[in-house]
Amino acid sequence: MKRFEGKVAIITGGADGIGKATALKFAAEGAIAVIWDVQENKGHSAVDEIVAGGGKALFFNINTTNYTEVEAGVNKTVEAFGTIDILINNAGITRDASLRKMTGEMWQQVIDVNLTGVFNCTKAVADIMVAKGKGKIVNASSVVGLYGNFGQTNYVATKAGIIGMTKTWARELGRKGINVNAIAPGFTLTEMVAKMPADVLESMKAKVPLGRLATPEEMADAYLFLCSEQASYINGVTLSVDGGMTV
């Protein structure tokens, strides 16, 4: 039997990159992958790919910064499949600039998606999971949330905040049977990263003891592990998936 047979998994930012890899892997393991994203064409394409491979998936155009949209997405998911078992808070953006050059708009855009969006999604599904007495929530932090990064005040603030929210929700929801954890990805070879200049990619690799960048599938594997029965006693943890960068 597949690990997530019949489970309903919401993956935010699931239309491409790490999110898409995660949706594909959950579906391959028997889950119904519910993709939330604002990239409609890519979202439908990801669903088509899953269905073509024999999996089950559905796409909703959801802006996670808008609680009304998130709540509607939860209701539609429950109407379609009866419940929600897993929430992967993967959606995130960057608007990089040094402190002196960062505008208030750049700051707020990242806060809205990366922090408020995670709050909105988790709040919207919490009652459903509490009523069932079980559930899995995994949030996307980052290695930069652990040690900072030049030119990313806004992004680092959100990813450090995710770690704090994860610990808090693990305390609040753990007693209700819900595991809340986070992953802290390192440099990952998404399509966007692959387009960077070769010298930049080499400098990134040089910072990783394993000597290479991660694949989106490796990040997806970390999400799947933390949602699996093998991780049933793991709660409030931020798992670094960075090839040893933070050693």
The model's pLDDT over 156-213, given as tens digits with 9 standing for 90+, comes to 999 999 999 999 999 999 999 999 999 999 999 988 777 778 888 899 899 999 999 9
- pLDDT score, position 232: 98
The DSSP bridge pattern shows strands 32-37 and 56-61 to be: parallel
Average pLDDT of the residues of the chain? 96
The answer, yes or no, to whether residue 44 has pLDDT greater than 90, is yes
Judge whether 155 counts as a catalytic residue: yes
Which tokens belong to 32? 């119904």
The answer, yes or no, to whether residue 56 has pLDDT greater than 90, is yes
Strands (E), the chain: 8-12, 32-37, 56-61, 86-89, 135-140, 178-185, 238-241
From the candidates 67, 147, 155, 233, which is the catalytic residue? 155
The answer, yes or no, to whether residue 31 has pLDDT greater than 80, is yes
- pLDDT score, position 196: 76
- pLDDT score, position 1: 81
Name the CATH code of domain 8-241 (choices 3.40.50.300, 3.40.50.20, 3.40.50.720, 3.30.460.80).
3.40.50.720
pTM score of the predicted model:
0.96
The helix or strand, by DSSP H or E, that contains position 174, with its residue range, turns out to be helix 153-174
- pLDDT score, position 195: 77
Angstrom CA distances, 78 to 10, 26, 36, 58, 84, stand at: 11, 18, 14, 12, 7
- List of residues 6+ apart from 16 with CB closer than 8 A: 37, 39, 42, 46, 190, 191
The answer, yes or no, to whether residue 114 has pLDDT greater than 80, is yes
- pLDDT score, position 7: 98
- pLDDT score, position 6: 96
The answer, yes or no, to whether residue 59 has pLDDT greater than 80, is yes
Q: How far apart are CA 14 and CA 38, in angstroms?
A: 10
The answer, yes or no, to whether residue 87 has pLDDT greater than 80, is yes
* pLDDT over 90 percentage in the chain: 93
Mean pLDDT of 131-135: 98
Mean pLDDT of 134-155: 96
The answer, yes or no, to whether residue 239 has pLDDT greater than 80, is yes
Band of residue 91 on the pLDDT scale cut at 50, 70, 90: very high
